[in-house]
Amino acid sequence: MFAIVGAAGKVGFATSTALREAGVPVKAILRDESKSARLREIGCEIAIANLQDPNALAVAIGNAENVQVILPPSPRVEDTAKEMREAIEALATALEKVRPRRLLAISDYGAHVTRDIGMPTMCRAFEKRLGQIQGHKLFLRSAEHMQNWARSIPTAMASGTLLSFLEPTDKLLPTISASDLGSIAADLLLQPASGDNLEIVHAEGPCRYSVDDVATAVGQLLGRTIKVEVVPRSQWKDAFEQVMSPSLADLLIKANDAQNEGGLVDVEPGCHEVRYGGTPLIDALRPLFFPRDTRSRVCNRNTVLSFGSDAICELL
């Protein structure tokens, strides 16, 4: 049995789909029963549990020998960092009770950095706590998700301008499609487990892209030229706090500062195992323009899209 905590998210669903296509049983662990339909359709067993409830999580995981976990932040809680630390402890406590043979945790590029750089630092704490659990532990560090640009699409369509916190805009950055990350995770979970080892694997797309590349891809999909505008650092706080709590905004502002500094939100030096997805940027962005859900999203000019953390993809 393979248990996927957070199976309704983009990564979790991709992992669940790949595992089901491989013919193995999957238990999809969700917080919200209303999101279970498409997981049932692919043959997953469904379990409901709150990420802050270790006893419920332990029951939901049950006797699964392989478990995938992720740590998505909540955009509106008063203290996001506190809630994430509580979720880390609840997940770890549940896993210590059920003791799966193998644990795969979705983490972040930059989790190796020792100083506080926001969201990657939360993933560092995630790795540190889960590293205490017995069994084969695999930390899959993800580059930023291509789908994180979803929030910028309405602004780009309305104004012809792609807003970004990242500069210089021609700097190549690691990024990956969320579906590719889920497939890579599934492939790793299907490999034989190896005792009490700890492995770190990085995952990114087939090549690195700049903000300018994103604007070009958006322009191709819209059929017109899209220019890039960098949001001044002095405006970041207000822009973030329009769509999330000040606590989460602080985590993402620090992550973007680290990204702009360069060399931090990247593959850990000396860690040579990197898996590469095959989805190019334009193909990852295409569904954002032609979604199955056609409900409109209200977005003003200061609602910026790329938040600099793969975890945000799980909120979209």
Average pLDDT over residues 212-221: 97
165-205: pLDDT as tens digits = 999 999 999 999 999 999 999 999 999 888 889 999 999 99
Q: Is the dihedral angle over the CA atoms 230, 231, 233, 236 positive or is it negative?
A: negative
- Looking at residue 151, its pLDDT comes to 86
Q: Which of 47-51, 111-115, 122-126, 306-310 shows the lowest per-residue confidence on average (mean pLDDT)?
A: 306-310
Q: Which of 78-87, 115-124, 259-268, 283-292 shows the lowest per-residue confidence on average (mean pLDDT)?
A: 283-292
- Looking at residue 292, its pLDDT comes to 60
- Looking at residue 307, its pLDDT comes to 41
- pLDDT of 295 above 70: no
The whole model's pTM is what? 0.91
- Looking at residue 272, its pLDDT comes to 79
- pLDDT of 289 above 90: no
- Looking at residue 75, its pLDDT comes to 77
Q: How confident is the model at residue 69 (pLDDT cuts 50, 70, 90)?
A: very high
Q: How confident is the model at residue 311 (pLDDT cuts 50, 70, 90)?
A: very low
Average pLDDT over residues 201-222: 97
Average pLDDT over residues 240-267: 95
- Looking at residue 73, its pLDDT comes to 86
